[in-house]
Amino acid sequence: MTLTRDTSTTDTSTTGMSTIDLLSARRSVGPNFLAGPGPSPVQLDTLLRIASRVPDHGKLAPWRFIVFEGEARDKAGEVIARLYAQDNPDADEGRCAAERTRLSRAPLVVGVVSRAAAHPKIPDWEQVLSAGAACMNLVTAAHAQGFAAAWHTEWYAYDRRVLAAFGLSPQERMAGFVHIGTAASPPPDRPRPALEEIVTRFG
């Protein structure tokens, strides 16, 4: 499979694959294997619009996005590394350095924040699921633009000190960090569950 990317600033065109082929072949590429280039500003705008175009019971927009790009990725990494070193005083410098690069391995990272909150009609569960849908739309759209992506959380997605430094209120949760960039080569697929193990027919 050859992925081609349109690098123009006005056109966010795709791999040229059919939607079904794209969805059938897509797989994640971890942050360590995502190099530049990343999405252009116009492409990022498209990605964020698509991420916010998900089923949303009650039209609550129970999610929001934090973009980590350029030097801000290093600033975010400093927060992660500082807290990691504080909690792990015996950690060697190599490990702390790796923590520092958590959000700067890929050229672009989008934090998807769940804003799920108590509502008289819409269960919290449904609001959280909508944030998951936003994450997946982001991953799929990035692939459709010819990039590769991975939806990761890691420890810092659950650390309230990190989240506070990233601007989350105590009620908000991080649904995930979507790392986006260019893969050197298409990754091999991983085993997928056999349909007969996960599908039943009622009746």
Residues that bind ligand FMN (CB under 6 A): 27-28, 150-154, 176, 190
In the complex, what is the shortest distance from the CB of residue 116 to ligand FMN, in angstroms, rounded to a whole number? Answer: 14
**Count helices and strands in the chain by DSSP H and E runs:** 7, 5
Task: Provide, rounded to whole angstroms, the least separation between the CB of residue 178 and ligand FMN.
Answer: 9
Place of tokens 């897509």: 26
- Which lies closer to ligand FMN via its Cβ, residue 11 or residue 163? 163
Minimum distance between the CB of residue 139 and ligand FMN, rounded to whole angstroms? 7
The full 3-state SS of 97-131, as one line of letters, equals HHHHCCCCCCCEEEEEEECCCCCCCCCHHHHHHHH
Strands 108-114 and 63-69: antiparallel
Q: Nearest Cα to 69, choosing from 100, 104, 98, 94?
A: 104
Q: Which is nearer to ligand FMN, 48 or 149 (CB)?
A: 149
- Cβ distance to ligand FMN smaller for residue 190 or 201: 190
CB of 182 to ligand FMN, least distance (A): 16
Q: Which is nearer to ligand FMN, 65 or 151 (CB)?
A: 151
Nearest 5°: phi and psi at 111?
Answer: -85, 125
Shortest Å distance, C-beta 47 to ligand FMN: 17
Contact 110, 51 (CB under 8 A): yes
User: How far is residue 74's CA from residue 42's CA, in Å, rounded to a whole number?
Assistant: 23
Residue with Cβ nearer ligand FMN (150 or 163): 150
